[in-house]
């Protein structure tokens, strides 16, 4: 029995690149020569015909398989092209989503930065307003602070001492 296409070709007396037509032509010729109905030694002819039929079957199956490969390759190429197109579409969609996410993150960062700057400017305006006193107002605040200090000096012998924060002019008690 011919196990490989190469062995089958050798049994039939063909080269490795034989076509289906070559196999059919050689089979007819060998069948005429070794068919048990036409041979004197039926047992030997029967063995030869079995070997020839097995070789022909192996070689025909191999040749048909080889003929189908280009068709399968074409189908595989079409499938690969579709898969590649789908992959590229998915990759493009993923890149677009990533870009949108980056843009949203940048917009949030800009908005947060603008809010911080706005808050900083507002705080600076309030601080600048609180610190900017006219010379008359400053003199009045100093006079008030000195009078409070003199009062505190007189009260200094008390157990609980009031303290004055001259910047904001508010009293607090310290022990």
CATH number at residue 35: 1.10.287.110
- Percent of the chain clearing pLDDT 90 (strictly above): 7
Cα separation, 4 vs 81, whole angstroms: 34
CB burial of residue 14 (10 Å; 0-12, 13-18, 19+): middle
Asked if 126 and 150 count as a contact pair (C-beta separation under 8 A), the reply is no
pLDDT digits (tens, 9 = 90+) for 117-172: 888 777 666 555 555 667 777 777 777 777 777 666 666 655 555 555 555 555 55
**Looking at per-residue confidence, does 175 or 69 come out higher?**
69
- To the nearest whole number, what is the mean pLDDT of the chain? 78
Cα separation, 94 vs 88, whole angstroms: 10
The answer to whether residues 78 and 18 belong to one domain is yes
The answer to whether residues 72 and 10 belong to one domain is yes
Please indicate, yes or no, if residue 150 is contained in any of the structural domains: yes
């Amino acid at each position: 029995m011919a196990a490989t296409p190469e062995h089958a070709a050798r049994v039939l007396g063909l080269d490795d690149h034989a076509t289906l037509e070559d196999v059919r032509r050689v089979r007819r010729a060998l069948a005429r020569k070794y068919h048990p109905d036409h041979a004197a030694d039926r047992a030997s002819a029967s063995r030869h015909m079995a070997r020839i039929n097995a070789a022909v079957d192996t070689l025909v199956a191999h040749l048909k398989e080889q003929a189908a490969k280009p068709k399968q390759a074409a189908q595989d190429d079409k499938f690969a092209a579709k898969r590649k197109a789908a992959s590229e579409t998915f990759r493009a969609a993923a890149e677009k989503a990533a870009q949108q996410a980056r843009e949203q993150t940048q917009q949030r960062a800009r908005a947060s930065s603008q809010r911080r700057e706005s808050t900083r400017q507002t705080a600076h305006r309030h601080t600048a307003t609180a610190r900017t006193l006219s010379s008359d107002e400053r003199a009045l605040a100093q006079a008030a602070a000195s009078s409070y200090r003199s009062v505190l000096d007189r009260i200094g012998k008390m157990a609980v001492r009031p303290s004055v924060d001259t910047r904001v002019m508010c009293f607090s008690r310290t022990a």
